[in-house]
C-alpha cells in the first residue's frame, strides 16, 4: 500500500477529481443498470412452472436426493481409496467406546450405541453431502434422549412387588421399556426431520452463528463432564433433568463422595492420563505417523482384559458394561401409542440434532472449500438418534469428490471503464450480522438481474461499500476478515470504503486489524479506493475515472 509521508504534499500525490452529469433514479435504472420493467407472473403460472416436469428436472431431483450418483462416477480410486480406508477404520475404532458410553447417557443398554454407529453411516454414504463429519452418537442428544426415557420409564414403575421401600428394581423390564420409548422417539424424530427436509427447512442453518455454536458446544461439554463424574468415582446417584440439572448432579455426587470406589477412580484417572498422552503424541508426530495411534481402542481392549482377568466386578466392586450380544436385532415396529407424549421432545431433539450436524458440516466445508446441503445433512434409522460426533472429525480430508461453485454478484457499472476494479452494490442496512452462510441460500435459489451476470475481465480488486453500515458484530467482522484472506489466496484484493468512525472503532475493538488485514485496506470513499487500487496495480487512470 502507498502512503503520503509527512514531507510529501497532498498535491504531489494522486488527486481526486469528480465531474459527471446529474443522475436521477429513472436514468440509473434504464441506462446504467439496464433494468427492464417486469410484468408480475400470475399465481397459476408460477404453480405451473414449479409443477412442470422434464428429463433435466427429474435428473436434478434424483441426483439431489442421492449425491452419491454425482461423486461416485468421478471418484479417483487410486488416489483416494487408501486414505479413505484408513479414515474409515480409525473413525470406526473411535466409535466403539464412544457408542458404548453415550448409550449409557441415553439410559439404554450399551449395545444400542454400537447399532447407532453402524446403520446411520451406511445411509449417510448415499444421502450425505459433507466429506468430514463423522456420523454417530452425540453427548447432548444422548442426554436429551435419556431424560425422555427416564421420564417415561422411571425406576418406580418397575419396583419389585410394587414398592420402593427396598429399592429393588426389575432392571431387565425397565431397560426393555426404555428401549421401546427410545425407538419410538427416534422414529418420530426421523419423521419430523424428513418432513422438514421436504419443506426445505435447511435455511435454518443461516441462524447458527459462530458464538451460538461455540456456546452450545461449551455447554454440552459441561453437561457431559458432569454426567460422567459419578461413573468416574463409582458412586450411585439419581439422574437429574431439566433446569439446574448440573447443579443437582454435582450436589448428589458430593453428598455421596464418601462412598467413592477407589479402584474405579484409579482406573479412570489412569485411562484419562493415557488418552491425553496419546493425543499429544499424535499431535506431535502427525506428519511421521501413517495413521493416528488409536488410544481409545487400546484403552478399551486393555481395560477389558484386565477387568476380566482380575474379576474386578466381583473382587473390587467395579461396575462393568456386561454382556454385549452378538449380531444385529431384527427390525421392530415402534410403539405408536407413545407418540403424542413424545412429540414436543422429538421436535426439540430434531432441531438440536440438525443444528449440531449442520454447524459442524459447514465448519469443515468452509475450511476445505466445498458446499453442503442443509436439507440432507442428517438421516435416521431404528437406533439412537444420531448426528455428527463432536470430539473428532475424520482425520483424512478425502472421502468423496465434491465441487464448490462460487457465485460472485458484483456491480461494476459505476466504473465501467475500470472493470478490473469491482465496487459492491450499495444496500441500505444499519448493522452487519453474519448468521451462517452469508446469504448462500439466497444466491443459490433466487435469480438475479442480468447485469449481475455480465462476464467480467480479470478482477484484481473488490471494493465493499460500508457507507450505510453503522454497527458490526464479532461474527460479521470475522466473516469480512475471512473473505479478505480467501480472496488474497487468488491474488484478489478486497478493500473497504466509507466506514464511519463508529464502525472503525468497533473493528478495532474486535481486533479486526491484524496481518494481513491492516488499516491500509480502509478508504473514506469508493472513489479513493478506486484511484488507489488502479495506482497500486500500475493501471493508467483515464480522465473519465478521475
Query: 90 lies in a domain?
Result: yes
From 388, 420, 445, give the residue that closes a domain: 388
Q: Higher model confidence: residue 432 or residue 94?
A: 94
Segment of 6-20, 81-95, 273-287, 416-430 carrying the highest mean pLDDT: 273-287
Confidence of residue 301 (pLDDT cuts 50, 70, 90): confident
Q: Are residues 34 and 167 in the same domain?
A: no
Give pLDDT, residue 493. Answer: 87
Is there a single domain that holds both residue 475 and residue 351? no
In a domain, residue 25? The reply is yes
- Confidence band of 350 (pLDDT split at 50, 70, 90): confident
* Residues 94 and 202 placed together within one structural domain of the fold: yes
Measured torsion, CA atoms of residues 73, 74, 76, 82, in degrees rounded to the nearest 10: -50
Average pLDDT over every residue of 342-371 = 74
The reply to whether 126 and 200 lie within a common domain is: yes
DSSP type of residue 162: G
Q: Are 352 and 436 found together in one domain?
A: no
Residue 8 pLDDT > 60: no
Between 307 and 437, the more confident residue is: 307
Residue 145 buriedness (CB in 10 A; 0-12 / 13-18 / 19+): buried
pTM listed for this prediction? 0.61
* Greatest Cα-to-Cα distance within the chain, rounded to the nearest angstrom: 99
Residue at a domain's end among 388, 420, 451: 388
**274 vs 65, higher pLDDT:** 274
pLDDT band for position 362 (cuts 50, 70, 90) = low
Q: Does 432 map to a domain?
A: yes
pLDDT digits (tens, 9 = 90+) for 232-267: 888 888 777 777 888 888 998 999 898 888 998 999
**The predicted structure's pLDDT at residue 290:** 77
Residues 86 and 210 in one domain: yes
Give domain status of residue 151, yes or no. Answer: yes
Query: Does the residue 310 lie in any domain?
Result: no
pLDDT tens per residue across span 535-546? 776 654 444 443
Q: Which domain holds residue 362?
A: 68-217+339-388
Residue with the three cell numbers 467482522: 477
Asked if residue 376 is part of any domain, the answer here is yes
**pLDDT at residue 366, as a whole number:** 61
Which of 27-36, 425-434, 447-456, 517-526 holds the top average pLDDT?
A: 517-526
Q: Is residue 239 part of a domain?
A: no
CB 474 within 8 A of CB 215: no
Is residue 423, in this structure, part of any structural domain at all? yes
Q: What is the pLDDT of residue 137?
A: 76
**398 or 54: whose pLDDT is higher?**
54
345/206 same-domain check: yes
What does DSSP say about strands 387-388 and 135-136: parallel, antiparallel, or unpaired? antiparallel
Task: State mean pLDDT over 13-22.
Answer: 72
Model confidence at 395: pLDDT above 80: no
Task: Give me the pLDDT at residue 4, please.
Answer: 45
Q: 199 and 147: one domain?
A: yes
| Contact assessment for residue 388 and residue 357, using Cβ atoms and an 8 Å cutoff | yes
Same domain assignment for residues 134 and 89: yes
pLDDT for 206-221, tens place per residue? 676 767 767 777 887 7
Using the 3D structure, point to which of 355, 388, 421 is the last residue of a domain: 388
pLDDT at 41 over 70: yes
**168 has pLDDT over 90:** no
What would the pLDDT profile of 98-150 be if each residue is shown by its tens digit? 888 888 888 888 888 888 778 778 887 887 776 666 777 777 788 888 888 88
141 and 205 share one domain: yes
Please report the pLDDT score of residue 433 as a whole number: 44
Residues 78 and 213 in one domain: yes
Nearest to 183 by CA among 342, 323, 356: 342
Q: How many domains does the chain have?
A: 2
308-318: string of b/e by CB count within 10 Å (b at 16+)?
A: eeeebeeebeb
34 shares its domain with 87: no
Residue 544, pLDDT score: 42
In whole numbers, what is the pLDDT of the chain averaged over residues?
A: 73
CATH code of residue 459: 3.30.750.24
DSSP class of 161: G
Amino acid at each position: 500500500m502507498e502512503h503520503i509521508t509527512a514531507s510529501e504534499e497532498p498535491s504531489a500525490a494522486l488527486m481526486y477529481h469528480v465531474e459527471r452529469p446529474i443522475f436521477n433514479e429513472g436514468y440509473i435504472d434504464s441506462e446504467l443498470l439496464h433494468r427492464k420493467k417486469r410484468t408480475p407472473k400470475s399465481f397459476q403460472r408460477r404453480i405451473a412452472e414449479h409443477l412442470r416436469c422434464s428429463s433435466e428436472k427429474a435428473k436434478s431431483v434424483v441426483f439431489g436426493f442421492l449425491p452419491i450418483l454425482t461423486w461416485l462416477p468421478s471418484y479417483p480410486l487410486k488416489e483416494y481409496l487408501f486414505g479413505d480406508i484408513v479414515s474409515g477404520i480409525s473413525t470406526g475404532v473411535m466409535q466403539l467406546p464412544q457408542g458404548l458410553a453415550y448409550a449409557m447417557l441415553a439410559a439404554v443398554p450399551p449395545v444400542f450405541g454400537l447399532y447407532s454407529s453402524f446403520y446411520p453411516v451406511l445411509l449417510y454414504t448415499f444421502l450425505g453431502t459433507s466429506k468430514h463429519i463423522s456420523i454417530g452418537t452425540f453427548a447432548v442428544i444422548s442426554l436429551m434422549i435419556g431424560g425422555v426415557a427416564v421420564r417415561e420409564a422411571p425406576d418406580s414403575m418397575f419396583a419389585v412387588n410394587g414398592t420402593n421401600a427396598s429399592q429393588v428394581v426389575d432392571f431387565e423390564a425397565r431397560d426393555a421399556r426404555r428401549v421401546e420409548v427410545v425407538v419410538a422417539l427416534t422414529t418420530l424424530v426421523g419423521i419430523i426431520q424428513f418432513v422438514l427436509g421436504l419443506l426445505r427447512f435447511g435455511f435454518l442453518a443461516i441462524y447458527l452463528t459462530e458464538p451460538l455454536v461455540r456456546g452450545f458446544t461449551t455447554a454440552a461439554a459441561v453437561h457431559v463432564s458432569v454426567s460422567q463424574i459419578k461413573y468416574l468415582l463409582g458412586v450411585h446417584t439419581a439422574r437429574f433433568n431439566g433446569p439446574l440439572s448440573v447443579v443437582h448432579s454435582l450436589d448428589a455426587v458430593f453428598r455421596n463422595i464418601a462412598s467413592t470406589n477407589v479402584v474405579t477412580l484409579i482406573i479412570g484417572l489412569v485411562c484419562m492420563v493415557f488418552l491425553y498422552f496419546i493425543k499429544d503424541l499424535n499431535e506431535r508426530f502427525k506428519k511421521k505417523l501413517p495413521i493416528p495411534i488409536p488410544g481409545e481402542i487400546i484403552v478399551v481392549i486393555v481395560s477389558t482384559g484386565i477387568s476380566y482377568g482380575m474379576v474386578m466386578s466381583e473382587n473390587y466392586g467395579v461396575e462393568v458394561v456386561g454382556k454385549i450380544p452378538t449380531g444385529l436385532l431384527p427390525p421392530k415396529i415402534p410403539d405408536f401409542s407413545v407418540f403424542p407424549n413424545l412429540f414436543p421432545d422429538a421436535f426439540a431433539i430434531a432441531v438440536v440434532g440438525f443444528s449440531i450436524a449442520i454447524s459442524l458440516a459447514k465448519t469443515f466445508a468452509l475450511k476445505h472449500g466445498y458446499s453442503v446441503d442443509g436439507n440432507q445433512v442428517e438421516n435416521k434409522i431404528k437406533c439412537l438418534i444420531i448426528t455428527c460426533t463432536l470430539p473428532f472429525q475424520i482425520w483424512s480430508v478425502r472421502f468423496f469428490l465434491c465441487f464448490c461453485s462460487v457465485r460472485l454478484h458484483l456491480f461494476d457499472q459505476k466504473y465501467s471503464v475500470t472493470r478490473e476494479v469491482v465496487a459492491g452494490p450499495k444496500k441500505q442496512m444499519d448493522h452487519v450480522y453474519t448468521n451462517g452462510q452469508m446469504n448462500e441460500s439466497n444466491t443459490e435459489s433466487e435469480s438475479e438481474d442480468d447485469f449481475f451476470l455480465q462476464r467480467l475481465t480479470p478482477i484484481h480488486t473488490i471494493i465493499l461499500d460500508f457507507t450505510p453500515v453503522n454497527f458490526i458484530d464479532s461474527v460479521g467482522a470475522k466473516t469480512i476478515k475471512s473473505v479478505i484472506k480467501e480472496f488474497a489466496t487468488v491474488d484478489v484484493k478486497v478493500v473497504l470504503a466509507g466506514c464511519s468512525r463508529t464502525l472503525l472503532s468497533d473493528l478495532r475493538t474486535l481486533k479486526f486489524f491484524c496481518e494481513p488485514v491492516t488499516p491500509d485496506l480502509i478508504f473514506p470513499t469508493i472513489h479513493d479506493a478506486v484511484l488507489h487500487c488502479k495506482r497500486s496495480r500500475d493501471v493508467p487512470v483515464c480522465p473519465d475515472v478521475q
